[in-house]
Amino acid sequence: MKHPVKGKIWAGKTKLEGYGQADLKHHDGLEKALFVYPVSHYPFWQKTLQRPDFTIGAFGENLAVLHLTEADVCIGDVFQLGEVIVQMSQPRQPCWKPARRWKIKELSLKVQQQGRTGWYFRVLKEGYIQAGDHFQLLERPYPEWSLSICNDIMHNQKQNLERSARLAQCELLAQSWRSTLNKRIRGEEEENNRNRLVGPNE
């Protein structure tokens, strides 16, 4: 669980300054420089999970954002945030680690089913950010690909190969997502969702 940071912090190409990440294979790199989660989702989770202590930072996000959800942002969106310019790369695919942290076995599955996943930014221009900075939308090249739609295609419309193919052609979608979608289109075996969502919590 993350805790609030006071003052300015450097947002680099791959992560925030001083931010340690244990799993660099799955949660690091240019496509996953910043993990963002909507503040507005937390009341839902507190009620659903009956956990009033499930508050901002519970999913390990770098940034908790107001007034934006997965329905409001699209693949390729470019935002100014403080000195930093960021670009939407992909929705987050939930994994088993938050479930283990909170000892709620099916938490990650519930997050996926609800589409309340949060998302990742790539950093186009490094700089300092701080609490209270506002997101200013600079570009929206793919208004048809909201993150809500992307989540639906990835997790709920696996049989709709036409929509998967169209999304896979989105050049600003993270390569890992495009690779998964292209495997689906070719009829190749996809990642075992149960392993990703539950993992060693089984």
pTM equals 0.90
Q: CB–CB of 4/64 below 8 Å?
A: no
pLDDT for position 21: 47
Question: Distance (Å, rounded) from C-alpha 81 to C-alpha 135?
Answer: 5
Element (H, E) at 137: strand 135-139
Decide which of 2.40.33.20, 3.90.420.10, 2.102.10.10, 3.30.930.10 is the CATH code for 9-142: 2.40.33.20
pLDDT (mean) for 166-171 = 98
Residue pair 127/10 in contact by the 8 Å Cβ criterion: yes
Give the tens place of pLDDT for each residue, 114-156: 999 999 999 999 999 999 999 999 999 999 999 999 999 999 9
What token pair was written down for 140?
Answer: 């929206």
The predicted pLDDT at position 22 comes to 43
Residues shown for the chain: 202
